Amino acid sequence: MTAETALALYQTMLEIRLFEETLYRLFSTRDMPGSMHQYNGEEAIAAGVCGHLVKTDYITSTHRGHGHCIAKGADMNAVMAEMFAKSTGCCAGMGGSMHIADFGVGMLGANGIVGGGIPHAVGAAWKCAYKGDGGVAVAFFGDGASNEGSFHESLNLAAVWGLPAVFVCENNLYGFSTHYRRVTPVEDIACRAASYGMEGLVADGMDVEDVYAKAGDAIAKARAGGGPTLLECKAYRYMGHSRFENPTYRPKGELESWKARDPIGAMAARLMGGYGLGASEIDGARARAEAKVAEAVAFAEGSPEPGPKDYERYLHA
């Protein structure tokens, strides 16, 4: 990986982290609409995977989708405005945190239904294969979704049709409050790939370089017509499942042990170590991210709310 790529991945992770931290403060101190599911701790996955994608590639996301949106290149102003339910939001204030999407950059949507977006990625991959446009589609989903029927049906169909899809399982150990090993009889969800005759890979989801390397292999294979891959990225959700929920179900010390391996801190150290960057470049990345998030908040705050009947124009095309 070049220093330039490494810095770009770092920048993406930092933007996601600052976006989420800012949003948490906003939810704590203001009357924000709705709820949210935060991505802190899992940034290396979105950054490492989307680092290989271009605008015309597709992703589908989960209820925890802010990071995917930002990593895929969505306009942060519009993403933040959607959190505020403003008409300038990427979904015009009609979707909110759980349904953010930016079709202009191939982000086909967060999804309020666990596993709901996985087959959409299969469909997008089908379109890419049919058109022969060289595109790939990546489905992000969690450990919980791997126990949904849509996971099985989607991976099976993508495999038998040989589609350019990559299935990225973000195993953050918990489906809401339930540890995945209480409801999943295998340690590595990636091993489920075997039942679809596809390759299953495990990446360290706290290490953006590892994610980037393995996602690169899977995406290149898909692009070259080699069919789908299941990539499991093991990571940890720093926050509760949703807004203000206190994750009492976690053993003491677990959060701290994962935070000790924080993907952003680790990457900063590597940038200043092996990649030979200076503190000024790290500080510059942070300053850029802070400015971007601050601008997004100001944009959202200054944007108008939708009119009470605005939804009528969106029901049918």
Partner 1 sequence: MGYERVADAIRAAIIEEMDADPDVVMLGEDIAAFGGAYRVSEGLLERYGPRRVLDTPISEIAIAGTAIGAAMTGLRPIAEFQFNDFMACAMDQICNQAAKIRLMMGGQVRVPVVFRAPYGATGRAAQHSQSLEAWFAHTPGLKVVMPSTPYDAKGLMRSAVRDDNPVVFLEHKMLYGAASPGGKAKTVVGVLGPSFREAPEDPYLIPIGEADVKRAGEDVTIVSTGYMVHKSLRAAERLESMGIGCEVVDLRTVSPLDMGTVLRSVGKTGRAVIAMESVGDFGVAAEVAARLAEDGLFYLDAPVRRVCARFVPIPFAPACEADVIPSEEDVVAAVRAVCA
- 8-state DSSP, 251: P
Binding mask 212-251 for partner 1 (x = CB under 8 A): ----------------------------------------
Size, binding site for partner 1 by CB under 8 A: 48
Beta carbon nearer to partner 1, 94 or 255: 94
Q: Cβ neighbours of residue 160 under 8 Å, at least 6 residues apart?
A: none
Does 261 participate in binding partner 1 (rule CB under 8 A)?
no
Residue 228 beta carbon to partner 1: minimum distance, rounded to whole angstroms: 13
- Tell the burial category of 182 from Cβ atoms under 10 Å away from its Cβ (0-12, 13-18, 19+): exposed
User: Contact, 285 vs 10, CB < 8 A?
Assistant: yes
Residue 92 Rama label (left phi>0; alpha psi -120 to 50; beta): left
Of 203, 64, 59, 56, residue with least CA distance to 144: 64
- CA 2, chain centre distance (Å): 23
Nearest residue (CB) to partner 1, 34 versus 265: 34
H or E, element range at 152: helix 149-160
Which of residues 1, 8, 32, 94 is near partner 1 by CB under 8 A? 94
- Find the shortest distance in angstroms from Cβ 90 to partner 1: 7
Which residue in this structure is represented by tokens 């924080």? 262
Judged by CB under 8 A, which stretch of 103-111, 222-230, 242-250, 270-278 contacts partner 1? 103-111
| Candidate list 161, 178, 242, 284; residue touching partner 1; CB under 8 A | 161
The DSSP-derived string for 232-243 is EEE----S-SST
Residue 273: count of CB within 10 angstroms of its CB: 9
- Contact at 8 Å (CB) between 46 and 107? no
| 12/138 Cα distance (integer angstroms) | 18
Using CB under 8 A, which of the segments 47-55, 147-155, 253-261, 284-292 binds partner 1?
147-155
Q: How far is the CB of 129 from partner 1 (least distance, A)?
A: 8
| By the rule CB under 8 A, 57 interacts with partner 1 | no
Give the one residue of 9, 79, 122, 233 binding partner 1; rule: CB under 8 A. Answer: 122
- Does 308 help bind partner 1 (rule: CB under 8 A)? no
Interface residues with partner 1 (CB under 8 A) are 58, 60, 89-95, 99, 101-104, 108-109, 111-113, 116, 118-128, 130-131, 137, 149-150, 153-154, 156-157, 160-161, 311, 313-317
